Amino acid sequence: MRKIFVHGLSALDLIHTVSDLPKYAEKYKSNSVYVSIGGNAANASVALSRLGVKVFLSTVVGNDEIGNILKQKLLSENIDLSYTHYIDNFKTSISSIIIDKNGERLVLNNRESNDVAIKNDIDYEMFDGFLFDSRDIKNSIKILKQIKNIKKPKVLDAEENTTNELLNYFSHVVFSYQGLKSFTGIDNIERALKTFAPKTEFQTLVTNGERGCYYIQDKIIENIPAQKIKAVDTLAAGDIWHGAFLFKLVKRSSLVNSIEFANYISSLKCKKFGGSSGAPFLSELKENFAL
Ligand SMILES: Nc1ncnc2c1ncn2[C@@H]1O[C@H](COP(=O)(O)OP(=O)(O)O)[C@@H](O)[C@H]1O
Ligand SMILES: [Mg+2]
């Protein structure tokens, strides 16, 4: 069984679905509610584990009630928590999310800044691939320095707070549209990629919701469109995309096949409510995408 190391944010998401987002300070009834694993790294871990990979999640969780619930949920997804850090007097990250009938969402997140020093005694050679989000840069760089000479796929989920230093440790950097915009200051994917990507040694990609994924090769911008589906909940779609993408890279699939697969897996997620709890299991994959 392949082994993947994931480092970054984990949280507990409380997700309500409603017809319309609340407008006034009143009492409202929701149509349904989900308690789900959240946070980029933890969401991606769920996707990877459901695809049949052994996932080792390195993340910081508080020794509190929310942390206990989160821990149980992660364990029930068969995610290995040997490298998870349980910290006293640290508040586990929690989000309250409301999603309306059009998939628009309101997110209220509470996250303590994370200055926790992580363990250093891990045998990173045993992993087949690495995934990091951009939520815990200090610790990420510490780990990335240690694995610098390990030539395995290393994927970064590059959101708004990505730094120049962080990028250079990766084989593949996947920006969200928002992440690319704030990093380059350019509000256009093609222009941003043409200005930024030729100067880098890693493969740069951008995901952009229902428009799918963009990447640049030999100075040419390519787009692999998303699957055409009726999306009901896109929460965690990007995180699940990164997990599925790395899954294929680790299997030595081509860049195009890995993107197509990630688009497919994240589209299955978008058809279900509940953030990462809607990530597909192996048994749900269509034959042409079966493994
Ligand atoms: N409405 C949608 N229809 C189909 N696929 C979608 C939709 N929204 C997201 N996806 C898939 O999920 C991927 C990641 O979504 P994106 O919104 O770019 O991530 P993020 O939330 O990190 O910004 C997209 O590239 C696409 O493949
Ligand atoms: Mg994202």
Domain 3-113+126-278 listed as CATH 3.40.1190.20: yes
Q: Where are the domains of the chain?
A: 3-113+126-278
Whole-angstrom distance, CA of residue 20 vs CA of residue 230? 18
Whole-angstrom distance, CA of residue 120 vs CA of residue 146? 9
pLDDT (tens digit per residue) in 169-205: 999 999 999 999 999 999 999 999 999 888 889 999 9
| Cα 212 to ligand 2 centre (Å) | 13
pLDDT (tens digit per residue) in 100-124: 988 888 999 988 876 777 777 899 9
Residue 5 pLDDT exceeds 70: yes
User: Given ligand 1 and candidates 104, 207, 214, 248, which is best to mutate, with the most ligand atoms within 8 Å of its CB?
Assistant: 207
Per-residue confidence (pLDDT) for residue 121, from 0 to 100 = 82
User: Given ligand 1 and candidates 99, 267, 289, which is best to mutate, with the most ligand atoms within 8 Å of its CB?
Assistant: 267
Whole-angstrom distance, CA of residue 155 vs CA of residue 174? 7
Per-residue confidence (pLDDT) for residue 103, from 0 to 100 = 83
Residue 228 pLDDT exceeds 70: yes
CB 159 within 8 A of CB 179: yes
Ligand 1: list residues with CB < 6 Å. 176, 207-210, 212-213, 226-227, 229, 231, 234, 237-238, 241, 263, 266-267, 270
| Cα 227 to ligand 1 centre (Å) | 9
Which ligand sits closest to the CA of 232? 1
3-state SS assignment for residue 255: helix
Per-residue confidence (pLDDT) for residue 114, from 0 to 100 = 66
Nearest CA to ligand 1 atom 20: 238
Nearest CA to ligand 1 atom 19: 238
Q: What percent of the chain has pLDDT over 90?
A: 86
Pairing mode, strands 129-133 and 105-110: unpaired
pLDDT (tens digit per residue) in 62-75: 999 999 999 999 99
Whole-angstrom distance, CA of residue 210 vs CA of residue 229? 9
Q: Which of 145, 95, 85, 144 is nearest to 115 (CA)?
A: 85
User: Given ligand 1 and candidates 162, 181, 210, which is best to mutate, with the most ligand atoms within 8 Å of its CB?
Assistant: 210
Q: What helix, strand, coil percent values describe the chain, rounded to 5?
A: 35, 25, 40
Which ligand sits closest to the CA of 39? 2
Q: What is the CA radius of gyration of the chain?
A: 18
pLDDT (tens digit per residue) in 165-177: 999 999 999 999 9
Q: Which helix (H) or strand (E) holds 50?
A: helix 40-50
Whole-angstrom distance, CA of residue 59 vs CA of residue 3? 17
**Partner residues linked to 14 by β-bridges:** 35, 96
Q: What is the mean pLDDT of residues 127-154?
A: 95
* Residue 16: partners with Cβ closer than 8 Å, 6 or more residues away: 30, 31, 32, 33, 96, 97, 98, 99
Whole-angstrom distance, CA of residue 265 vs CA of residue 285? 8
Q: What is the mean pLDDT of residues 20-42?
A: 95
- How many C-beta atoms surround the C-beta of residue 139 within 10 A? 21
